[in-house]
Every structure is written in C-alpha cells, then in structure tokens.
Structure 1
C-alpha cells in the first residue's frame, strides 16, 4: 500500500509539472500547438484523478511525518494543475472567439513593417471584418479611440515609452507618421500578438488608435483587449 500511495503522490506532483511544461515544449517546437493542448488536457485529467485519490488516501491511511507532508503537497499540486487551465477555460467561454481588437473598427490601423513577419501566420494581417467589430463592441464597449490635448509629437513619445515599459518588442517606429509597430509575447506559450499604434491630429485634438492582433488561434481569450486596456491605462 505504501508503494501505491507513493505512486499517487508522484502522479499528483507530475500533473503540475506537465501543465508547466506544455507551454515551454511548444515554444521549443518540441510539440505542435495541438500536441501541447493535448498534453494540457491529459494533465488536467491526471490532476483530477490523482487529487481525488490522494485526498482519499490522506484520510484513510492517515500517513505521518514526511509522507503526510508529501500527500498534502501532491493535493495542492493537483489543485493548481486543475485550477490554472480551468480559469483559462472560464475566461475563454466568457469572451467572444475573436483575435483582432482595435480602438477604431471602421478604419483600423494597418500593419506595415510587421506584415512580412505574419506571412506564414494562420491569422492574416488584414482586419478580421465587420462581424469581429460587432462582437468587439458588444464585449468591449470601453475600447475606443484615445483623445488627448497633447500634440502628436508629445503623445507619440509618451506612447513609445509606455510600449517599451510593457515589454513589447519594438519592430518599427515612424516619427513623421507617428506610428509604432511592436510585438508582444505571452509568457507561458510564447504566443506572439502584434500591435500597431496610430497617432494623428484632428480638429485641434490628438487621436490615438491602437490595434492588437494574435498570429495564431481563433480566440485570444481576451488577451488583446486586456493588453489595449493596460496600455491606455498607463498612457
């Protein structure tokens, strides 16, 4: 029975390790995206099974000392391994399945320097269209053009500073056109989302529009909207 209990403890800890490895293995191209998600799914199944069995073993066998500590640790690991993907799933089901977010959905900023970098990306560089705009307005009505009393030059420099502070890779800038293009990379899976910022003067005010688009995936799980909100908040 001790051997079986040891296996259960190992499986509980393993579930969290597999969850953590799914992203890095995809980044290293050792797994395809589908393979990484499959690993993620089976790790969750393992976490559920190992977690339940470890809880039962903890109350039935009542281990003492180090084994009791390892049992609790395995239960905690199983819970974390289940909770992290579960929260992502909950978020995914609460937002529309879109991946192209812009403060201006009528005339969204266009990617120029980044366009060649997206040549082989599953999601094309062109704006996703009216249906995406409709879903965005329903889900993220607060994401609109930023209006400032500052001059285009001042706002451009401020926007560039914020983009750098957010850790984005600056791909191209244009002092004359007041345009910034950058790429943001997610931590876990290393997904690359591209950002373009357009600044222009209009009727005595300065307008800033920002667009963030994922290279892969039908749904961005709300990440692009979150990124734009964070940028505008810091601005």
Structure 2
C-alpha cells in the first residue's frame, strides 16, 4: 500500500511534467510558426487535459501519502501544483470562450466600421481571416448581443487633439503602427499577444462630431473563428486608457 502510494505521487508528477512540456512545445511552435495555429491550439487543450489528470493523480497520491504517513508528500504536492499551473490558464480561456460568440471582428461602429488599407494580404498572410465582415451573416447581431458596451466614444475635444491622443495611446499599448493619417483621422496598427504571438489588426478612426469628436475602433483577429473575447477586451482597454489620457490634458 505504501509503495503504491509513492508510485501514484511520482506518476502524477511525471504526468504534470509531460503536460508542461507539451504546453511549452505548443507555445514555441506557434510563436516561431513551426506548426499551424490550429494544431497549436488543440495541443494547448490536450496539455490542459493532461495537466488536469496530473492534478487529480497527485491529489490522490497526496491523500494516500498523508494517510499512510510515508514518503511522497512533496512529490504529490509538486505534481498537483504543476498540473494546475498548466490546466488552469488554458481551462480558464476555454471557459471564457464558451461564453462569447464565435466571432473575431469587433467594432464600435456596426453600421460603418473603420476600414483597413495598410493591413494588406501580403502583410497579414493569405490564410488570414478576411476583412469584409461577410461571415457570419449575423455578425453585427451577435456582437450587439454579446458586447453591448462596445460603442463609439464621444468626447468634447477638438478632433485634432483627440487624434494625437489616440495615436499616442495606441503606441502606449505597445501596438505596431502601420499607418497614421491625420488628414483622414485614421490609424492602423497591429497588436501581438504576449504568449502565443497571435497578431490582430486594429483600425482607429477619429471624426468630427459637432464641437467634439467621435472615436471608433475595430479589432480583427488574423486567425481563428473565435477570439475568446480578446478583441472586445482590447477595444474596451484602449478606450479606457484614451479617456484617462484626454482627462489629464
């Protein structure tokens, strides 16, 4: 019994290490474009499953070692922590993704979304998602239902000043600026996610609105059917930071 308990804890730790290795391989493979993003994403889900199994095995091993008062407690704790470390972030992303529609093109202006010109096929890649917002057919309705708060920002400031603040905010967000045209009030940029190195394209438009200005933002994922809510969150964060910047001026 004691020997079995020790083996269970050790097996849980080895399973956790396997999950961590698979997680690292998927991240590295996607970052350096060694594997297709779809394969990398499926690999992440599989790594999370293995991590969950490792956590369960380690938890069982921990209970048995404590009951038997034999060696293996530290091994079981290490396996439990390692398994959860792999499973928790991926699992959280999967749960978050299940709560949002499978769309990847989000804009504050559903009737007249900011357009792209600098984000060409050559720059984005031929396999990238299209920018025509043609699919799904009810894209606008799905966005409106899921993200009713993603809307045009109206500010009581001179459009030129707002444009300068909008451009500065985009740079502060760490985005790569592809084009900035003050004459038309447009900005195009690319955001790169930290872990998986996914690239999303962003279009910003500042227009005159009476004595103030409207700011519209559009964020589009290059790959994947669902963005797991990332584009809406990016727009929310950007507009929040922009509001704070304009309030300080």
Q: Given the two structures, how large is their TM-score scaled by the length of structure 1? A: 0.91
Q: Is contact 1:104–1:144 with CA below 8 Å preserved after alignment?
A: yes
Q: 2:76 aligns to what?
A: 71
Q: 1:36 aligns to what?
A: 40
Structure 1 residues without counterparts, runs of 5 or longer: none
Q: CA deviation at 1:163?
A: 0.6
| In structure 2, distance between residues paired with 1:143 and 1:122 | 24
Q: 1:123 aligns to what?
A: 129
Q: CA RMSD in A?
A: 2.0
| In structure 1, distance between residues paired with 2:13 and 2:236 | 42
1:53 aligns with 2:60: no
Aligned residues: 234
The aligned runs of 1:1-235 (5 Å cut-off) are 1=3, 5-62=9-66, 67-116=72-121, 117-128=123-134, 131-235=138-242
Q: CA deviation at 1:137?
A: 0.8
| In structure 1, distance between residues paired with 2:140 and 2:159 | 26
| In structure 1, distance between residues paired with 2:134 and 2:219 | 12
Deviates more, 1:219-228 or 1:19-28: 19-28
Q: Is contact 1:115–1:125 with CA below 8 Å preserved after alignment?
A: no
Q: Given the two structures, how large is their TM-score scaled by the length of structure 2? A: 0.86
Structure 2 residues without counterparts, runs of 5 or longer: 243-249
Q: Is contact 2:179–2:187 with CA below 8 Å preserved after alignment?
A: yes
- What is the SS of the residue equivalent to 1:111? coil
User: Cα–Cα, structure 1 residues 74 and 184, in superposed 2: closer, same or farther, change >3 Å?
Assistant: same
| In structure 2, distance between residues paired with 1:135 and 1:143 | 12
- What is the SS of the residue equivalent to 2:191? strand
